[in-house]
Structure 1
């Protein structure tokens, strides 16, 4: 009888333990599994795409990769970045390709990658290779993007174009970018152009949206356009000021339609370096995604070393993008400083 009693008691204890473990796992699943930054390595200019049951993040060349891509199913745990671009296009300078700010749009059964890169044959006014917009196509969202050997946009501005961003509005596709005016002491503007149904060719005329670096907080440059549509209204998010300084920030404009005109919604940025030290500075080059019923904003920010100087990493952060009753975006940042970390050693 003692042995039977002990077996019942052991079974009850095991059941209690399993129930407790289940409750703990459920609580852990509902709780955040990591704090910002969610990807702690150099992952600048992040862009988010939901596809095939996962979220994919793409970033500017770094870590020995031409186009970085990582994936997640919860926006907190991210895979180690891998290579998305199959090869460099023929038009790109092999010695200094500068494959920057990639973004991806799903068009029918394939994915179109848009990026900026430096031309091997055309220069801008300061003598450097002109930055142009290229495209690449894949049947997968995370690999084997085969580039076109002809740039999509290159001759529109002598100073070049960068920071390309696609947008779907119903059945119509649009492309946003900025002239590289800050390279050559020229005003920078955000532009838009409609794409054809393949996403690989432009149609119609280029439209200047009316947004430039004309406010004090924007400094010498405005860049990184992101167009979204919410409740029938159009919002153009953008970044401005020096990318490597604490003054780099995110603002937004209201637009009458996908081709503008647009007008700055505020004289102050929406997202900026917090006044109190939080272990990072210079938030910018944002991407916006609606995921599981909530809207989030991804951006990079410089990691700060214990001595207060910036690290080599622009890591990826993700926060919820909320909205006021009057339709204004709002970001509530975590005020507690993140634990210290160091940028991983560069790949050879």
Structure 2
């Protein structure tokens, strides 16, 4: 249907400017036709819907993060299926390879029996890639007696394999309750790391924080900044998490997820920030991306990441698969939707609302 519409529109353009070419002369008409066709192509490209059918990765692939590197798109996710850090890749955002293992081994500071390697994200540097992740300490505990979650790093020359971890956590002692959901952000020549305290573990407020990194992305600089965002909106429930910083037309936007991760109320919101270290303020009292009102085969969209790809901006996020009987499946599959902007600089995410064909979480997850 889309191709037919394009053909009909180009036919009308062609016949119109064929007439104009005759009126203006061969050279003037050819130049005019070329300019108008270029404009028409740009308009069609901008208006055509994103050619993606969700979910794009039908497996348990929670907390997805997208990175473009070496001619492909790489997606990373929380541990599942026996893999410490999941990684997949694609060249079109729709077709993805089966998840593989990215982390060479667990670092010494991590609980080897219950590592809980969560929410990995990767940044490319001149000579290496750095993987940031949360994992559970083997020696430190939080106030409720459970192993404390800390932030670790791992380095590789490749975007998809052989990440070797540092045996010392990057962030751990500063937060007695733990820290998770780490996200790197490059702003010019400076690099920042965003994360949240694990306050919801122990009936404490949760906040979004940021800290500057050195040029190699492996050491902290300066002091930790609290950005001013907490779970203070009704829709956010007991937790705010998964920060993602983005600059659009010179303005700073911090996207985040909130509410219980395993409930339909889990959703994505955003805030406006004065700069990379804040302060930030919620831009709306309602979420940007939430469970649709009508049955769609999924619920609880969240833990987003954002990528510019072929002239578009896309948001990847996970959502729970829903079985035909209405029950939640075991999988949080990866979805991708386009992120657009209003004339006033407000983000819009319009997920595919057509019901996905039924599928089941693979055995072994």
**Paired position in structure 2 for 1:268:** 286
Cα distance per residue 1:55-86 (max 9 Å; x no partner):
00000000110000000000000001100000
Contact 2:52 2:93 in 1 (8 A): no
Q: How does 1:1-348 map to 2 (within 5 A)?
A: 35-346=53-364
What residue is the counterpart of 1:27 in the other structure?
A: none
CA spacing shift, 1:204–1:32, aligned 2, 3 Å: closer
Contact 2:50 2:337 in 1 (8 A): no
Structure 1 distance, partners of 2:352, 2:62, is 20
* 1:107 CA displacement: 1.3
Deviation at 1:109, TM superposition (A): 1.6
CA distance in 2, matches of 1:122, 1:31: 49
Instruction: Indicate the SS of the match to 2:268.
Output: strand
CA distance in 1, matches of 2:100, 2:351: 29
CA contact (8 A) 1:228 1:234 kept: yes
Q: Secondary structure at the match of 2:278?
A: coil
Q: Distance in 1 between matches of 2:156 and 2:173?
A: 26
User: Secondary structure, in 3 states, of the residue corresponding to 1:269?
Assistant: coil
For residues 323 and 40 of structure 1, do their structure 2 counterparts lie closer, same or farther at Cα, with a shift above 3 Å needed?
same
Deviation of the 1:33 alpha carbon:
6.7
Question: Secondary structure of the equivalent of 2:76?
Answer: strand
Distance in 1, Cα, partners of 2:275 & 2:51: 38
Unaligned runs of 5+ in 1: 1-29
Alignment partners' CA distance in 2, 1:332 and 1:57: 21
Task: Show CA shifts across 1:248-307 (max 9, x none).
Answer: 000000000000000000000000000000000000000000001100000000000111
With over 3 angstroms needed to count, the CA separation of the structure-2 counterparts of 1:341 and 1:32, relative to structure 1, is farther
Q: CA separation in 1, counterparts of 2:209 and 2:49?
A: 41
Query: How many angstroms apart in 2 are the aligned matches of 1:61 and 1:135?
Result: 15
Give the Cα–Cα distance (whole angstroms) in 2 for the partners of residues 59 and 260 of structure 1.
Answer: 27
Counterpart of 2:14 in structure 1 is none
Distance in 2, matches of 1:309 and 1:335, equals 19
Q: Distance in 2 between matches of 1:218 and 1:32?
A: 29
| Equivalent pair of 1:33/1:77 in contact (CA under 8 Å) | no
Q: Is the contact made by 2:52 and 2:336 (CA closer than 8 Å) also made in structure 1? A: no
Moved more, 31-40 or 312-321: 31-40
Deviation at 1:99, TM superposition (A): 0.1
1:32 Cα deviation from its structure 2 partner: 7.0
Report if aligned partners of 1:160, 1:180 keep a CA contact under 8 Å in 2: yes
Secondary structure of 1:297's partner? Answer: strand
* TM-score normalised by L of structure 1: 0.90
Aligned length: 318
TM-score (norm 2): 0.86
